Amino acid sequence: MKLILFDYNYLPYEIKFLKKEIVKMGGKIKSYKNKEIEVVGLSSKSASKLTYIKYVVDNNETFETLQSLREQINGKAQRISQSTRYGPHGLHEYKGKFNPQTPRSLLLQNFKKGAKILDPFMGSGTTLIEALDLEMEAYGIELNPFAFEITKAKLLFENLDKLPKFSVNRKSQKSFSTESENYLSKWFTRPQYKDLVIILGSIDKLPASNRLIPKIVLSDQIRKNSLQDPRDLRIRRRRNPPTNSSLLEDFIDKYNHIVDVHKRWKELYPVTAKKDPNIYLGDSTKLDQYIKVGIDGTVCSPPYFSALPYVDTYRLSMVSLELIDPKSIVTEERKLIGARDITKQEKENEFKHLNLLPSSINKLVMDIQNLLVRDKSAGFRKRAVPFNLIRYSRLMQSVLKSLYSIEKNGALNLWVIGSNRVVVNNKDIIIDTPDIVSKLAKSVGFKKVVLDEVDAYSRYDLHSKNSIKREMVLKFSK
């Protein structure tokens, strides 16, 4: 049997993942040359499930893998680069989500059909979509209401026979609270704000069960049609307002694109039975309050230290969809693990927890604090780093304790996580988040803690000086 790779250039870890999938399915690699892998001991059915293979040649018959068919359903012409926005994954360009091939391959390498898989940091639901496709039981929890709504929309995308037609009624205009209207009107030009209220008013005329996907599609167009700089993760104003764009036109184009993608997706995946994962809007430090079954493992991309400012990045979408009040934005951001904003009182409270953390983390915090004492140029965000590091470690340790309590013995956890850095007193300090989380996992009782390096792309746009060039797969077991 010959396995033919995709045309795109593979990162080293993807080849490593592929080889592990082949071995897991009972195959043995005889040769690998020029985008072709010759294997023995692999059934055609198993080969068709491989994540990083485009074609299978068996007994002089050539057929496409399921993943090849899936990746074509992105509404775009065939291209050389890897397709990562296929099917429901293309509903929203949610920042920080990992390529769906990564959790899919990790699931294939390590779990069987029917396994109970949890994503304790569900985000926009990438792992859940892939776990369901592999006929596993999927569970997820997420504290950010916007990410939670995106996940719900993706699952609805999977379960609907067809998406509803959408027509704009210019007489239907959304009425916001005075507070939200005052806030949003400052972040859109008048024509764009008018488009926003017309689109939302038209969506509200749909049956309640048909509103979510159009809302998420709209939210994906808001940043680039607002006065927020779409390249920036923080909510900073553009130097020049957008002049050659239309929120209404962009929304209609994207929604029609999604309708086309959904139609093609349903040709590949007819709705025979609803895929109903168990998803919860809640706190990952309290997993035992939500998950009442024994978990076989987790696959996730947890928040990094000094994480992406998810609430700040999507505050216009969250206010527009009435998921948050403008006055609550800063407070809600601080609730997320990895948040960078912290109050004076919170700093004092966090320092009390320092001695409860592993000694290596304690030392890192104190080293940074001592450097900051001598760094007269450090601003308030930099001076908050030691306290935020304590808070991050404390909360992550709480998540791990809660996870330990709900997992079966032998459960396997696979977390894709990366490092970042901070410059203090002209010295580069690496915040090795994978190492920090690995030590926290050990501290609560997890065993077989291993770190495997994978390659990463830069995730931060304007914040390129903090870009993550390297990520790790943190493996640990109960």
Segment 383-410 mean pLDDT? 96
pLDDT in tens, 187-229: 999 999 999 999 999 999 999 999 999 999 999 999 999 998 8
Question: At CA 348, angle to CA 345 and CA 350, rounded to 5?
Answer: 105
Distance separating alpha carbons of residues 269 and 216, to the nearest angstrom: 22
- 214's enclosing H/E stretch is helix 212-222
Task: Give the CA distances from residue 177 to residues 106, 285, 315, in Å, rounded to whole numbers and listed in that order.
Answer: 45, 33, 16
Distance separating alpha carbons of residues 198 and 182, to the nearest angstrom: 17
**Of the candidates 110, 113, 128, the residue with the CA atom closest to the CA atom of residue 45:** 113
Q: What is the pLDDT of residue 148?
A: 98
**408 DSSP assignment:** E
Question: At CA 200, angle to CA 142 and CA 129, rounded to 5?
Answer: 35
pLDDT in tens, 413-466: 999 998 888 888 888 888 999 999 999 999 999 999 999 988 755 444 434 455
Distance separating alpha carbons of residues 158 and 102, to the nearest angstrom: 20
- Band (275; pLDDT cuts 50, 70, 90): low
Q: What is the pLDDT of residue 459?
A: 42
User: 58 pairs with which residues across the strands?
Assistant: 61
What the block records as the tokens of 451 is: 């770190």
Q: What is the pLDDT of residue 464?
A: 44
CATH top-level class of 101-143+275-310+338-477: alpha beta
Q: What is the pLDDT of residue 240?
A: 82
**CB atoms inside a 10 Å sphere around CB 296:** 20
Segment 148-162 mean pLDDT? 95
Distance separating alpha carbons of residues 235 and 223, to the nearest angstrom: 9
Q: What is the pLDDT of residue 405?
A: 98
Percent over 90 (pLDDT), the chain: 73
Contacts of 476 (CB under 8 A, 6+ apart): 412, 413, 438, 441, 442, 446, 447, 448, 449, 450
pLDDT in tens, 80-129: 788 999 999 999 999 877 899 999 999 999 999 999 999 999 999 999 99
pLDDT in tens, 8-43: 999 999 999 999 999 999 999 999 999 999 999 999
Q: What is the pTM of this model?
A: 0.94
Beta strand 61-64 with 420-424 is: unpaired
Which phi and psi (to 5°) does residue 471 adopt?
-130, 165
Distance separating alpha carbons of residues 179 and 175, to the nearest angstrom: 11
Question: At CA 390, angle to CA 385 and CA 461, rounded to 5?
Answer: 45
Which is more confident, 344 or 108?
108
pLDDT in tens, 225-269: 999 887 766 667 888 887 788 999 999 999 999 999 999 999 998
Segment 320-341 mean pLDDT? 90
- Residue 307 above 90 pLDDT? no
Rg, Å, the chain Cα set: 23
CB of 261 closer than 8 Å to CB of 73? yes
User: 444 pairs with which residues across the strands?
Assistant: none
What is the pLDDT of the chain when averaged over all its residues?
91
Distance separating alpha carbons of residues 277 and 129, to the nearest angstrom: 9
Percent over 70 (pLDDT), the chain: 94
Segment 356-363 mean pLDDT? 95
Domain borders along the chain are 2-71, 101-143+275-310+338-477, 161-270+311-336
Q: What is the pLDDT of residue 389?
A: 95
- Residue 78 above 90 pLDDT? no
